[in-house]
Every structure is written in structure tokens, then in C-alpha cells.
Structure 1
């Protein structure tokens, strides 16, 4: 165990000798031994002993010390008002954080102030706005095994969204985990924890929580008939355990902000679990089958840049979601991301979204009116979540009310819409008039943040509160007039009536006027130049005011909690409304993008519509890359024609001509269509795709001991194992990480296997020109290339795809465009010319006949530079010579080789 977690050993040895406060700290550390306990002491959260030393280093705060009868020990603390930023640092460092709050006021305690863990903050169970990303869900996951079946549960603790699925294939579950990217997971006995990425915190949790009966009892508090809803015992185990963990991180039972608390010091985990209350805002469990959605594994998610760009270059939002997201609310943004994360397969559901997008695209006024109205929608999912957890303040309730006030206008804007999807949304937009009126009647328009200090309940809502406020106002009015009355009675013109928090109300008289002070004045405080007094009547009035205000504050607090509970009781209605608003916002966003950027409605084909049954048909006219076209001044559209007779396209052309962009745009257009979006093209007809596989770009896994070539082969193995005739496969430069002969052989074997065995629709971009000959041997294979013009040694890229194979790779010309030094480029040209004339290039040895001329020439050029630099008697520094000797020439592309040579040359010149 981390020495910063659990009870400090020194404390454990002498627990009975500790002061009451430090005994509290020890016991909380012992109970929450998997978390770092932040222990409230006044206005700070403190840590002690080894935990203090660790947090001081991590948070870069001052390490102090505390001394009591048991000795001196380290201490470090953070201010409560700014705790979130420090907690975020602790989470990033891999810690769970248990917040131990004071749950009673210091004045109410006869001994040490009671403290209890009110919540445990972990990466997957965040509910604090300051720590959450509003644009996406944050899911915690649970994985359980039952026989050969793996059950996966996912819960967003901030919104209450709860999902479950299962599969007999660990690969399929790994793909679902990649789809949702949970930052935290709890894993049951015998379940494979290695399915989660290194970025996911796998949290140890009680094995008993995964017991079938225990999990079913937990789940039954949330869902009726879980055995009917869920498809496997593994799903029940995962769902029950995840709910149990979510209840655990919520903290001990406690009653609101003033913390009337009931604590249970039992070490029995089952007793604690039984005492926990369900999370009232988790009201619905959605069981889904992964086969209902287009499957995108982790590699495809990265390669297609759906959520994260592979390279920023000044365009941080250069992702598919980035170009689609014109949503007006956090609700809509999360809904849109979920649609992109899980594109649909069912034609009817896709058509339903497309119908709505088409109607909104065609009605500018409706679309723009809805967008403007939705800007006034707050994050209802998280608002009702906080309300149910008794964490919402009065401003949260007003935000909820303000959202409800928008709903009638949104409904009015949808009046008369034609498509079923929009009419259904109109029906689901419940304005919750009763909830809105309750908040309107109870909560002032602009309430303070604090809910324990009054000023939040509206006048006229509660007669008892109004009476208390009246008493306080009458007393203050009497005091307001007191100064003038006392000046007239005493003849002291400088007499003042004032108030401070320590001494209360007073009458102040300067020293020269003390002889005029009446006999009924009682001295309260002596100052340098004056005296302060109080009269019996002033004291009585003060007691009335203070008593009335304290009782009014208590009454307001109780009334506010009653209102909050009443709103929380309508959680299901609020969540239904939130989902309708989110869906509408996402549809408006898609229609806005379609209208603004000239997208068209795709036509979805069923099996009966296809020319040949079984495989895919994909026809795109004038297709564009949705992301690249936004970042470039101009973009050249290209067509796609794929079907059973033409399903393997071998694409050639020089670097920078557009091969990778072309392949990605095909996949993204398919994905957009299955999201239910219009697509960037003049026209599109396609069969829904079940899986998209990608092998694009060079990357390594040094920490995992895998080279670039090994990563490539691992990804290819997955494709060859799992792709089928309903898959779209993108292959880019397969076989480049080894020798040219091996690379060509591997690429050819893969092409033949994809064509003959898998039947997958495939786009294969390559520099291995011998592969183009496969189009003559494989029935459904054909060639495409990106044309270029070459004039005076310079190439011009047209980025237009044409039938047939490219005539060359133009590696030297691309190197020139990349800024490779002229002397290197000229030497490469000489070697290319020598090869063309039939001369063997010097220092090159036997060349492989399948290598391109430019590639061999550049390799020879780099080889010559290596020999020269390491020759006896040379003046090349030893470290540079060592670098040259260790260069892996077989694994460098021509441009990479020239770039490396340029770097080494610059080092030599320094």
C-alpha cells in the first residue's frame, strides 16, 4: 500500500493515546484505506504524517508540523475554497481522495467536532463541475465474468446514465471499453483487467460486491426485474458491483450541508453496504447489444480522429466531433458525442434521424429559432443529479427553473413539424409546470450561493418565515430611529448607533460628552477616544433581532431542503425532458452543419437494393473530408465506387497526393451517414457498415516493447481475424517497417487474404507498385491513383483520384518540397539517373528489384554519408559517428532518411 494511504503506522501503534481529533483522522484513514483522506480543520483540508509529506510534494505546498501530547508530526493543508484544483492534481497523480468534512458546527459540539467522509472523489465518479468536462460523459466501468461471458457496466455518476452489455468475446468487450474510454474500473474475480488501457485506474473493490445474489439485491433497488432486463448473470454482477461502488464513493449517510450525520464505525463491509441509500437519480438501466452499433475499435477511433486530433498544428478542434458540434447546450454536446461514438446499424433508426435533419435543414427559421432557444438550456442532467444528491444550491434550482421556462417556446417552435422524430420530441418536452411554479414561488430570483445563511426563500412562501423576518425588520427599524431619538434625549449631537459581529448593537459616545450620558446606559466597550454603551431596551431588541434572524435562517434552510427534495422527486420527468432537449439540440446541430457546409442526405441501401447480395455497396459522388476541408483554403472532391465486383481498391501515388485523406474521408462519410447526419458530398448511396478497421500511420509502443512494425502487425492481425464482408477496411503503407522484399510479400499476402477469404470492402494505399499487378489476378481488385504533373523537376499535386496505377513515387521531388538540403537532393537525382541508365549505384550492393528508384537512391545517398562520416581519420565527432552507425536504414522511408541526414548534417556544422 502507498505509504500516504491508510492509517499512519505510528498512529496505529498508539491509537488510544491520540487526541480525539487525531483519533478521528486515524479511524477515517483506516476505513478508507484505499484513498487519501483530506480532513477538515476549520477552513482547511489537512493531511498528517506520511500523507502530509506526500501531498506537500505533489501539490507544492508548505509542509508544517503539529504537536500534541503524543509528539510532533508533519502536517500540510489546502484551503477548502480552492480545493478543486488541488484535488485534480491528486487525481492526475493516481490517487482517490476521501473528503472528510465537519458535519456539525463547532458551537454545537461539547467535545471534538464530528467529521465524516461525505464523498470519495475518483477519476470515474466525478460530480464536481470544476473537475468535469461538460462536453462528454465520464463513465466508471465494472467488468464481471460468468463462465465464458463477460459483462460490462458503465455509469456516469454525474448524470445517472447507466449502460450494460455482455459478450463471449473478450475482443468485443475490449472494443466497447475503447469506445467509452472509462477513466476508472472495478473488476470482478477472474475478469481480465488487462482489457482496460493503462490510462484507466483499475480500482480494487470488495469481491463480495460481484457475488450474483448480492449484486442482484443491489440492482433490485434501482431496476425492477433485472433478470428479465439483462441478458446474462455477468451483466447482473457487473451492474450490481458498479452501483455498490458508486454508493461507496458517495460517502457515509449524511443529511445535507449542516451535516446531521449517522456514522457507522463497523468494519463489516456488508453492514456498510446495507446501510447505504440508493442513488436516487439513477432511474434507468439501458441494456444494449454491441451488434446494434457500428463497431469502432481503439485504433479506428484514433486513426479517424473522431474525438482527438493526431496532430494539432493550430487546429485543436480538427476532429469529426469538432466540425459537427454546433450544439447550444452541454446536453446536446454530450448527445452528439454519443451518436458519433455509437453510429447506428438499424436502417429505420438512421432514417428517423435523417428525416429530422432534412426537415430542419429545409426550415431556416425553425432551425435558428430552436438554436437560440436552446442556448438558454442549462445542464439538466447534472442539475437533477446534484439535486438528488442534496448537493444543489438555490442557484442550481433557479437554473433548472430557467430551463423549464424555455420549454414552452421550444414546443411552440416545433408545432407543425412533419417527421415522426420531431413530433415525438414535441410530445416528450414536458414543461414541468408544477416544478417550475414551485421554484418560482419558493426561491428568490437571484439567490446567494450559500444556503445556510438566509436570503433564498421568497417573501410570501411561508407565513412563519415571514413573521420572523417581520420581527427582525421591526427591530432594525426601531434601531434605525434610535440614533435620532437618543441625540434628542441626551443632547449629544455626535452620538452614533452601530453594530459589530463581536459586541452586537451599541451606542457610541466620544470622551468629551461622557458627562451627558444617561444613567440607563450600560458600558459595553471602551475605546481610545470613546465609550460604547447599551440600554436595556436596545439589548432586548437586539436579542429579538438576533433570535429572529437565526430562527429565520434555520427555517429557510429547512424550507429549501424541502423544496429541493420535492424537485428531486421528479427526477425521472426531468431526465426525460433532458434527453428530449439533448436530442433536439444534436439534430439542430447536424442540420446547421448540413445547411452551412453543403452536405447532402445519404441514401441507405438494404440487401435487396444491392447489385449483388452479401457484401457492401458504396457510391459517393464528389466526396470531401469533413475536417480537412475546414482547415484548407480549397479542397478537391473525389468519387468512390465500391461494390461486390469492385471491393478491393489498390491506391498508389506520391506522398502528399491525398491517399490517406481520401481513405479517411470515405470512412468518415460512412460513419456520418450511420450517425444520421448529412454527409459532405454531392451524393451518397451506401449499405450500412458493421465494422470499420484501420491500419494507418506509423506508431510504436516502446513501453510495451513493440516496434513500429510490431504495432502494425498486431493491428493487421486483428483485422485479418475479425473483418468480414460487412466490414470497411483501410490499409495504408502496410509492410513499410521491414525490408522492401518482406514488405511487398506481406502486403501481397494480406491483399489476397482480404480479397479471397474475408470479402471485406478495402481501400489499400501503397508505395509498393508491384501490388498494382494484383488487379489483373484478383477478380474484385482494381487500381486507383492520384495524378501529378512534373515540370522541370517539380511536381504539382492535383489531389484527383483516377483509374489505374501511378507511374512513380516521386520521392526525390517530395523531398525537395519538404526542404531537404539541395546537395542531398542533387546526389539523389544522380543516383536515380544512374539506375535509369542501368548503372549500379556506388556503395549500394545488390538492389532489390521491387524497390522504387527514388527509395534505393536515397538509401544509397544516406549510406555513402554514413561511410564518409565514419572513415578512419575523419573529423566527425564520435557521438555523431555512433548515431550514423546505428541508423536502421531498412526501416526509414526516403523522406525520413533525408530528414535524418539533414539533422545529422546540421549537428556536424554546429
Structure 2
């Protein structure tokens, strides 16, 4: 066990001898043995023993010690006022944190102050604003496996193809593969999603989409589907039982059979809900003590019990959405990284150089999360895409409405997280005012949308519920600028509660009496310097300086002696103080009770607030897309209906149609001073483009911009192009760039082959595939052979629409051999002998790779470049022979007895030695690229004769 977790061994051995406070700490560590316990002592959260040593190093704080009758213990602590920043570091280091607060004031009861864990903080169940990213969801996941039932009838939405196949096989009496289910929950917003598949790859892809920070995994479900950076939390296996899940889900959402499509989904959702209830269990202002946990049936180690009595119902979870992955464009983890949707591949000062970064002009946290969700799950249904495009088009054309709405949305607070805190009883009075201020914006938003014509905006107008009753309640009950603390008064507005007003009046009248007392006593005693004052220790007092002590009346009772004065009280002053303090305490208590009642009343409207939040988020995302379209000259794409596929799914011929005129890379054009637009025309008859050209000419940018334009179009966004027309793509696969997996024992080439295997296995005729420099990680002959075999398979068997960038110029011959293949190249010019990259795509094959010239431009030392030219002159001939003859006549290099190089062809003939000799004699270092190509063409014709 981690030395920072669990009860300290030195305490466990002598628990009964510990002081009461240290015994509390020991017992909490034993109860929460999978978390680091932060134990409140005064104004600090302390850790002891091994936990102290560990946190001192990790948090870079002082390590001190505590000594009592049983010994000396290492101790380190963090200030409560700044705890969140330290807790964030602990979470990033992979810890769960249990916060043990003092749940009673010192002196309220005899003995040690009672402490209880009021929060269990884990990476996936955060609700604290200070620890959350406002522009994205923070998901915790559950993965569960069904036991024999597989898919089942019921559930909203179409089941995915694997589940449909499973049901058919079951009807025929065939063996049925078990279903793997995924549940996802954002505890801070209440977003709750579920899906399932018979394919673990599909579930892994979905997990990559949502990138959960934490996961619980059911019995027999492998953790292999989770990314390496996802924390796996042990949890009671009983929570994954079907009956338990059914009962728990029914208590929240009704019959789960009407919502979910597989037993495994019920297991995953039920366990995830139980886990969230457990983690958030102690949140309610610390009102419940640790003693309530003592009845928990938890004799297991390493996880919480599903029957733990501290589990708390999460009333703000009002909807569970079952979705089918096949309703959205599939983007696996590799594609997400390659296309830089959310994270740049190389930062270098461009942290926001992502697709999300360039299209996110949202004004609120709500809109930011909604837009990222749209990017994470682009649509397939043309009607849904067109609905969004209609709204974007209208907002793009109506500048006044777009800008006015955007300005109003800046004043919108995060309604989803606000209502979550309100429902969990964690909201303070300022949160209620934030809700009120957001609701105040809604009527004006409705006014701006009142004249909108498209159906989507009309629906949003209807969904913008101003919640006037909630706004009025907060206006009437809560002062305009309330304090943060909700137990110290000053939060309830005047005239809201008569009894509270009376208590305040009594306290106010008493204070006025005390204010008048000073003048009365000065007149009565003749002591002009006498003053009446107050402090928290001695209460109200009359202070008389030493020279005037002879004039003190007999009814003055001495309370405190100072160096230059004495302080006194009178029976009347003490009585008035008791009445004032009593009135203030009762007023504070009543204010707290009223506030809690107002908060509970607002919590009953959670569904209305969540519906409003959804409408506001959607509007913000649409305004963002229209703002980007207007500012950066995007066009509306034309979306064709689905053409169907090779497996008979729909009518029409298989394949995709993608036509883009003047397309631009949405990210690169923002980071470069200029950008050269390019066209693309892909169809069933021309679906495999072999793209050649030098390094730095723009091949990778070109391929990625096509994929990003397609993705944006299916999000419902305008796109960076002069015009665009496309059929919805169902999957985008990428094999782009070099990367390795040293920890996993995989070389760069092995990673490349793994990714290619996935593409060849899962892609189909409705997929867009990007292949960049396939086969460059091995020998020229092997690489070329692999590249050609892969290309032929993609063309003949997979049928995917493919962009294949390569330096293997022999592959350009595929355009003659494969019916739907064609070649493109990036043109290169020369300026005084220097290579000039024009970044313009044109039909046909490139004339060279210009690797040495690129090295020169990159600043490689001149002597290295010169030597490279010499070596190229010696070796390019052999490589070109291999590339030029690898086709129907597969070439194999061999050495002839005299040491010279010859090439044996498939029919057993040898290439004439004189050609090889001529190649070796060429002085490539002094040939221009055009001259070198001329020589190559001449020698190639000799070989063909």
C-alpha cells in the first residue's frame, strides 16, 4: 500500500493508547484506506506519520512533528484557506483525498472536537470550481460486462450494428458474445451517458472520445479499454449486480428497460451511480458525523461498500441518455490526436492551436462544453446537420443579433454546475445571486431571438424559460451583495421574514441603547473620557482611564485591568448585552434556516434549470460557430444524403463524395502569415489519392485540412473553403506522424503497423482514411512492398476514401493499376537554385523529394549537407532501381561474385551491369533536380527496353 494511505503502522500497533484526537485520525485513515486523509486541526489540514512525509515531499511544504504521551509523529499541514491548490497537486499525482473537517465548534461538547469526512475528492468526481476546467466536462466512467444476455430489446434509439447482430445470432441459437457497456457521469453537471457494444475496440474509442479522469471497472471487464492516464478506482463488485443496478436506476429514472438496451448497461450505470452517491456522501455542510458510518457492512479492503449508509442521493441527476456510437462520426484516440482536436501535437507557444481552440468563441462555460461535445461527436444524420447549419447561417447573416446575443451570454453563469451545487446543498448566497443574475438575462435573449426564422432558433426561443418565479424568490429573499459565509447573517433581505426583522430590530435597538449609554454615563459621572466599547473576549464594557478612577460609581463592576485604564460593566449593561447577543444569534440561526429553505425550494426546479442550461449552451455554441464563420470567411457546406454502403445499408452506390474548392486548414491559417488554399475532389470513381511532393510542401497539412473540414461540416459548422460539398463520413482513421511507445516496448514502426492494422480491420467504404508516409520505418524494399500491399487492400477490399501521402514515387504507378486511384503532387519551384515550396496541389506525380534541400533550409551545417549530397550520389541509384522495378516484377537486391551490384527480377533476369555503373558514375551533387530527373528517366527507359 502507498505509505501515504491507510492507518499509520506506528499508530495501529497502539491504537487504544492513542490520544482521542490521534485515535480519530487513525480510524479515519482505516475507514478511507484508499485515500489520503486531510485532518482538520484548527486552521490547517494535517497529515501524520507516513502520510506527512509523503505530502511534505510532494507538496514541498515543511515537515514538522507532534509529540504526545504515546510518542512523536511526523506532521505536515496545509492552510485550509488555500487547500484547493494543494489538493489539485495531490489529484494530479494520482491520489484520492478524504477531507476530514471539524463538525462541531470547540467547547460544544466535552472531550475532543468531533471530525468527519465531509468530502471525498477524486479526479473523476470533482465539483469544486477551483479544481474544474470550465470549458469541458469532467467524467468518471464505469465499464461492465454482461453475463450471457448481450443486447436486449428496449431502449431509446437504434442499437449499434454489433448489438443487432448479437440479437439475430441469439435467435438462431448461435453463441452470443458478451456485451461490454460504458457509463459516463459528470458529477458537477449531471450529464449521464451510456452505451454498449460487443466490440472492446468500440468501447475503447468511446472512452477516448470522452477522456474520463477516473473509472470503476466491474467483474470480468478488462481495464485494457482505458487510457493509461485514467485512474482506476476499486469499488464494491456487488454494485455491478443487475438487480442492484435496476433498483437504483429505477429510483432515479423509472424503468431502466425503457432507457437502456443491454443488461451490461444497467450494471455499468447502476455501479457508477452508486459510486457517485458514495463519493459525494458527506457533502452536506458536515452535518453528519463519522459515527453514522460505523454500521457500514464493509469488511472488504481496497474499496467502499455499496451498502455504505453515508451514500447520498444526487437529486440533480434527472436524465440518463443512452446513445449509439454509430449515430456519430467515429474518431478513435489516434484520430483525435492526429487531427489536434483538443491537444496540439507540438505546443511551441501555440497551446490553443487546436481545432477546438480556433472555433471556440463561446461566451460562457456552458457554451464551451457544448461546443467541445459537438466536436467530440460530429453528426451523421444530414437533417440534424442541416438544422445546425440553418441556425449558423441565419446568425452569420444577422450581425446585430449575433453580437448582441454574444454580449448577453457573457453575463451567464454556469447554470449546470450552479444547480448541481444548489441541489447538493453546497451553494452559498452568492451562488443564488449568480443564478438570479443569469435569469435576468433570459428575457432580453428572447427579445433578440423573437424574429428569427429558422426552426432551430425558434425552438431555442421556446426553450429559454426565464424562470420568473425563481428569479423573484431570490430577489425577494437574498440581499444584493451577500457575504460568502451562510451561517453568520447578513444574507436575507429586509421584509422577507417578519420574525427575522423583529430579531434584527431587537439587536439594533440594543446596540442603539449602548451607543447612547456612553453619553449618559459621561453626564452622570462627569468623566469626559469615558467610553463604551466591545471585544469578542469580554463583550461590552465601560473604560475609564486611571486618573478618573475616583469618579467611578459604586454600581460599576471591574472586568479587566489595563496599564492605563480599567474596564467595567454594570448589571444593566450585562443584561442588555445578553439580549443583544441572544437576538443576533437567533437572527443568524433564523437566517441560515431561511436560506436553506430558499435553497431547497430552488432545488425543486432542477429540471427546469437544466433545460434552460441546455438551451443557453446550444445558443452559445451556435453563436460561436457563426462568429468564426463571419470573421474568417467560412462557407456553408452542402450535405448530401447518405449513399449507402457495400453491406447494403441504404440505397445507392458505395463510397463518399467530397468536393472542396479553395479549402484551408482552420488551425494553420491562423498561425501562419499566409496560407495557400487547395481543392480536392474525391468520389466513388476517384477515391484513392496518392500524394507526392517534397518534405515541407504541405502534404500532411493538406490531408488533415480535408479531414478537419469534413469534421466541421458534420458538426454543423461553416468551413474554411470557397465551397464544400460532401456525403457524411462515418469514420475517420489516421496514420500520421512518427511516435513510439517505449514503455510498452513498441518501436515507431511497430506503432505504425498497429495503427495500420486497426484501419485495415475497421475501416469500410464510408470511412475517410489518412495515410502519411506508410512504410518509411523499415528498409526501402520492405517499406515499398508494405505500402503497395496496404494501398491495394484499402482500394480493393476496404473501399475507403483514402489520402495517401508518400515519398515512394513508385507508388504513383498505382494510378494506372487501380481503377479508383489517382495521383496528386505539390509543386516546387526554384529561385536562384534554391527550392521554393509553392504549397499548391496539382494532378500527377512529383519530380522529387528534395530532402537535402529541406535540410539546408532547416539550418543543417553545410559540411553535413555536402556530405549528404555525396552519399546520395552513391546510393540513390540502388534505391531508385528497387523502387522502379517493384511492381508485378518484384525486385530483390543481391551481390554478384565480383562485388558489383546487380538486380535479379522475378523472371530470373539480371539488370544490365552497365546501367548500374552509369548510376554510380553520375555526379548528383552537381546536377540540378531537373537534370537528375532527366538522367533517371533515360536510365529507366534502358531498363524497360
Normalised by the length of structure 2, the TM-score is: 0.87
1:150: how far off?
Answer: 0.4
What residue number does 1:455 align with? 490
Please report the RMSD computed on the Cα atoms of aligned residues, expressed in angstroms.
Answer: 1.8
Matched, 1:227 2:227: no
For 2:759, the equivalent position in structure 1 comes to 719
Equivalent in the alignment of 1:436: 471
Return closer, same or farther for 1:259/1:190 CA change in 2, 3 Å cut-off. Answer: closer
Matched, 1:244 2:282: no
2:196 matched to 1:166?
yes
Cα 1:757–1:150 shift into 2, 3 Å: same
Q: Deviations 1:568-594 (Å, cap 9, x if unpaired)?
A: 111111100001000000000000011
Task: Give the stretch that moved more between structures: 154-163 or 46-55.
Answer: 46-55
Q: Output the CA distance in 1 between the equivalents of 2:883 and 2:553.
A: 112
1:734 is matched with which residue: 774, 787, 797? Answer: 774
Alignment deviations for residues 666-702 of structure 1 (CA, whole Å, 9 cap, x no partner): 0000000000000011111100000000000011111
- Structure 1 pair 279–258 and aligned structure 2 pair: CA distance change class (3 A): closer
Aligned to 1:709: 749
* Contact 1:328 1:371 survives alignment (8 Å): yes
Report the equivalent of 1:157.
187
* SS, match of residue 221 in structure 1: helix
Partner of 1:54: 54
For 1:746 and 1:762, locate their aligned partners in 2 and report how far apart those are by CA, in whole Å.
16
1:798 alignment counterpart: 838
Contact 1:222–1:278, Cα closer than 8 Å, also in 2: no
Match of 2:687 among 644, 647, 667: 647
The equivalent position to 1:606 in structure 2, one of 641, 646, 651, is 641
For residues 674-693 of structure 1, the aligned pairs below 5 Å read 674-693=714-733
Query: Is the aligned partner of 1:762 residue 2:796?
Result: no
Shift of 1:216: 1.6
- SS in structure 2 of the partner of residue 448 of structure 1: coil
Instruction: Quote the residue 1:816 is aligned against.
Output: 856
Alignment of 1:508-527 (within 5 A): 508-527=543-562
- With 87-96 and 578-587 compared, the bigger mean Cα shift is at 87-96
CA distance in 1, matches of 2:718, 2:724: 9
Check whether the contact 2:479–2:493 (CA below 8 A) recurs between aligned residues.
yes
In structure 2, what is the Cα distance between the partners aligned to 1:130 and 1:181? 20
Confirm whether residue 212 of structure 1 aligns to residue 242 of structure 2.
yes
User: Within 5 Å, which residues of 2 pair with 1:98-177?
Assistant: 98-147=98-147, 148-177=178-207
Q: Distance in 2 between matches of 1:770 and 1:615?
A: 26
CA distance in 2, matches of 1:209, 1:226: 16
3-state DSSP of counterpart to 2:131: coil
Cross-structure match for 1:902: none
> Would the aligned equivalents of 1:497 and 1:506 in 2 still touch at CA under 8 Å?
yes
Structure 1 window deviating more from structure 2 (13-22 vs 149-158): it is 13-22
Deviation at 1:846, TM superposition (A): 5.7
Partner in structure 1 of residue 24 of structure 2: 24
Aligned counterparts of 2:194 and 2:340: Cα–Cα separation in 1 = 26
* Equivalence for 1:869: none
Residue in structure 1 matched with residue 890 of structure 2 by the alignment: none
- Of residues 276, 293, 302, the one that matches 1:264 is 293
1:192 aligns with 2:222: yes
Task: Give the 3-state SS of the residue equivalent to 2:39 in structure 1.
Answer: strand
CA distance in 1, matches of 2:32, 2:287: 22
1:238-286 Cα shifts (integer Å, max 9, x gaps):
000001111111134x653566787230240467446633111111100
Q: Is the 8 A contact 2:190 2:316 kept in 1?
A: yes
Q: Quick check: 1:401 aligned with 2:436? A: yes
CA distance in 1, matches of 2:571, 2:587: 24
2:292–2:310 contact (8 Å) kept in structure 1 = no
Secondary structure of 2:130's match?
coil
Distance in structure 2 (CA, Å) of the matches to 1:261 and 1:236: 31
Instruction: Tell me the secondary structure at the aligned position of residue 786 of structure 2.
Output: helix
Residue 72 of structure 1 deviates from its aligned partner by: 2.1
- Distance in 2 (alpha carbons) for counterparts of 1:772 and 1:415: 57
Residues 402-449 of structure 1 show CA distances to partners (whole Å, capped at 9, x for unaligned) of: 000101111111102111111111111111111111111111000001
| Alpha-carbon distance, 1:289 to partner | 0.3
Check 1:439–1:260 CA distance in 2 against 1; reply closer, same or farther (3 A cut).
farther
Question: SS at the partner of 2:346?
Answer: coil
Which whole-Å CA distance do the structure 1 matches of 2:241 and 2:390 have between them? Answer: 46
* Corresponding residue number in structure 2 for 1:849: 881
Q: Secondary structure at the match of 1:371?
A: helix
Secondary structure at the aligned position of 1:800 is classed as: strand
- Contact 1:105 / 1:258 at 8 angstroms: preserved in 2? no
* Aligned counterpart, 1:68: 68
Q: 1:569 to 1:100 in 2, by over 3 A?
A: same
Deviations 1:194-221 (A, max 9, x none): 1111100011111101111112222222
Provide the residue aligned with 2:89 in structure 1: 89
- In 1, Cα distance between equivalents of 2:207 and 2:644: 34
Q: Is the 8 A contact 1:296 1:692 kept in 2?
A: yes
TM-score w.r.t. length of structure 1: 0.91
Answer whether contact 1:117 1:251 (CA < 8 A) is retained: no
Q: Work out which of the residue numbers 471, 484, 505 in structure 1 matches 2:519.
A: 484
Q: Does the 8 A contact of 2:295 with 2:309 survive in 1?
A: no
Structure 1 residue 390, shift from structure 2 partner: 0.9
1:699 paired to 2:699: no
1 CA distance for matches of 2:587 and 2:746?
A: 68
- Asked if the contact 2:236/2:306 (under 8 Å) is kept, the reply is no
- Of residues 625-634 and 583-592 in structure 1, the stretch that sits farther from structure 2 once superposed is 625-634
Deviation of 1:31 after TM superposition, in Å, equals 1.5
Stretches (4+) displaced over 3 A: 257-262, 269-275, 607-612, 827-832, 844-848
Correspondence for 2:602? 567
Instruction: Assess if the C-alpha contact under 8 Å between 1:205 and 1:245 holds in 2.
Output: yes
Shift of residue 534, structure 1, vs aligned partner: 1.2
Residue range with higher mean Cα deviation, 816-825 or 239-248: 816-825
Asked if 1:341 is matched to 2:376, the reply is yes
Q: Does the aligned pair in 2 maintain the 1:812–1:829 contact within 8 Å?
A: yes
Structure 2: give runs of 5+ residues left out of the alignment. 148-177, 299-304, 646-650, 885-924, 926-945
1:628 aligns with one of 649, 668, 682: 668
Distance (whole Å) between structure 2 residues aligned to residue 99 and residue 124 of structure 1: 16
Any conservation in 2 of the 1:31–1:267 contact (CA below 8 Å)? no
SS at match of 1:222: helix
Distance (Å, rounded) in 1 between the aligned partners of 2:377 and 2:436: 32
SS in 2 for 1:788: strand
Deviation of 1:608 after TM superposition, in Å, equals 6.0
2:296 and 2:308 in contact (8 A); partners too = no
Name which of 769, 777, 786 aligns with 2:817.
Answer: 777
User: Of 618, 641, 666, which residue of structure 1 is paired with 2:706?
Assistant: 666
Q: Offset at 1:375?
A: 0.6
**Which position in structure 1 is the counterpart of 2:33?**
33
Structure 2 CA distance for aligned equivalents of residues 428 and 106 of structure 1: 50
8 Å contact kept, 1:607–1:613 = no
Aligned partner of 1:860 in structure 2 is none
Structure 1 Cα separation of the partners of residues 871 and 270 of structure 2: 69
Q: Distance in 1 between matches of 2:525 and 2:804?
A: 101
1:614 and 1:297 map into 2 onto residues whose CA distance is: 23
> Aligned partners of 1:115, 1:51: CA distance in 2, in Å?
18
What is aligned with 2:658? 618
For 1:415 and 1:261, how far apart are their aligned partners in 2?
Answer: 54
